[in-house]
Structure 1
């Protein structure tokens, strides 16, 4: 009976939020193999219109050290919560950057121009981010160009945005998209990679990366409901060095 009781406690500890491997509590924790998210020193969020107004100071006190905020999508969508999140993170003195969700039914030049039109060029912000992933649920565009064309479009966007802001954009992507489009062939790119079920050494063997999105169901003080949580690949000292070299 005692053995059964102990086993039940172990099961509950794995099933409940706040299990080993996480910095913050989580709606849907997993059991990690390999290096766990909580072993990294620097954690941050990415947010969009799905998050209501955030208490950024409370989030910072809880350990949030950076934020990536959705600004644009395609060539005509501007996230209605961008301005609120952007100014709120600034007031809390949280380093923040903006990201663009790529749409494969619009020319890359138009999308880069739309991002530039809507995201202010301010000193001290993080590099822009190009979010490239398949979107099978889109009501207007489910195109999947061949890998070579995907990388060509990415290069166009990266060049235009880098020229305007003076910083090389980061690329965010998923395991399926990364593999199918051989994104590792893009030279000089820093990657922000998603993997919510496997550690990155298993999901992207051999790939260097700067940020890891490890959950979409994090429970972070100051944020209502679940939120994407990420880590930076390095120590606290590495983070400060990276900030000094990557903030315009």
Structure 2
């Protein structure tokens, strides 16, 4: 990823493991037309060494289990969560859906935010982007609903095509998308004092984000291969490797993620977004 120091930091995070790749969107944000998920993983699962995929950037085969900082992302679809059990299971962080567009708040955001904090789970909020409102309007809505907690993780802007939206099926031109994203990111960073991270899917990245926003960390959905296979040379900080993970304290499936970096990289990212 382009986390602090670029490719070198990323390759340090990849390590030297030659294990296999267990295949694994934000809970309400899995993109249509992404990839076919091959095999879910769990925090305690030892992966099958027969299905590895080698990174074309490093030549190293990595799996989610090669990265020690593991997290989840949740929304109302996970229902009531036992956050103390989640923490005890080995989860290092959680991203919680907060807002969507300029007028929607996730039904369980406030409860999840408070309970995760009480349980000692490092947490942050994400916003699902809506193509029929300006970036500034959406930033204002996010700020209105997400507390400015200095201990929270950097905010996340979730960018995906949303053809199933009942109210907005627009596919704006790339220049408009990037202009409005930049507005959102600038306003939110100024308010919270941390640089927001960008979450995206394979198809949206290909269509609208290739080569853009190099100063921001990326969180990549890649459930059927290592992100470097799906996203080319895009640097990234987080890898969402499954949408069908299982974690104690949560009923049913949950998205699982890993931070691709060393503990020092994680502390820097958590504090600054860099």
TM superposition score normalised by structure 1: 0.85
Q: How does 1:1-248 map to 2 (within 5 A)?
A: 23-24=43-44, 31-34=51-54, 35-246=62-273
- What residue is the counterpart of 1:10 in the other structure? none
Task: Describe the SS at the equivalent of 1:64.
Answer: coil
* Cα distance between partner residues in 1 of 2:80 and 2:197: 26
Partner Cα distance (1:232, 1:55) in 2: 23
Contact 2:174 2:208 in 1 (8 A): yes
Structure 2 CA distance, aligned partners of 1:21 and 1:238? 24
How many residues are aligned here?
227
Distance in 1, Cα, partners of 2:245 & 2:40: 14
How far apart in 2 are the matches of 1:189 and 1:237? 18
Residue 11 (structure 1) aligns with: none
User: Is the contact between residue 96 and residue 109 of structure 2 (CA under 8 Å) also seen in structure 1?
Assistant: yes
RMSD: 2.2
- Alpha-carbon distance between aligned partners in 2 of 1:22 and 1:33, rounded to the nearest angstrom: 19
1:160-203 alpha-carbon deviations (Å, 9 max, x no partner)? 11111111110000011011113432241110110111111101
Please state how far the C-alpha of 1:206 moved relative to its aligned partner.
1.2
Structure with the bigger RCO (C-alpha within 8 Å, sep 6+) is: 2
1:222-241 Cα shifts (integer Å, max 9, x gaps): 11100000000113343234
How far apart, in 1, do the equivalents of 2:164 and 2:257 lie? 24
- Note the residue ranges of structure 2 that are not aligned, 5 or more in a row: 1-22, 24-38, 55-61
Contact 2:196 2:273 in 1 (8 A): no
| Stretch of structure 1 that moved more, 107-116 or 32-41 | 32-41
CA contact (8 A) 1:32 1:199 kept: no
In structure 1, runs of 5+ residues without a counterpart are 1-13
Gap change, CA 1:156 and 1:183, over 3 Å in 2? farther
Native 8 Å contact 2:98 2:105 kept in 1? yes
Q: Secondary structure at the match of 1:130?
A: strand
> TM (normalized to structure 2)?
0.78
Using the TM superposition, give the Cα deviation of residue 32 of structure 1 relative to its aligned residue in structure 2, in angstroms.
4.3
Q: Which has the larger radius of gyration?
A: 1
The 3 A distance-change label for structure 1 pair 60 and 78 is: same
Alpha-carbon distance in 2 for matches of 1:42, 1:77: 31
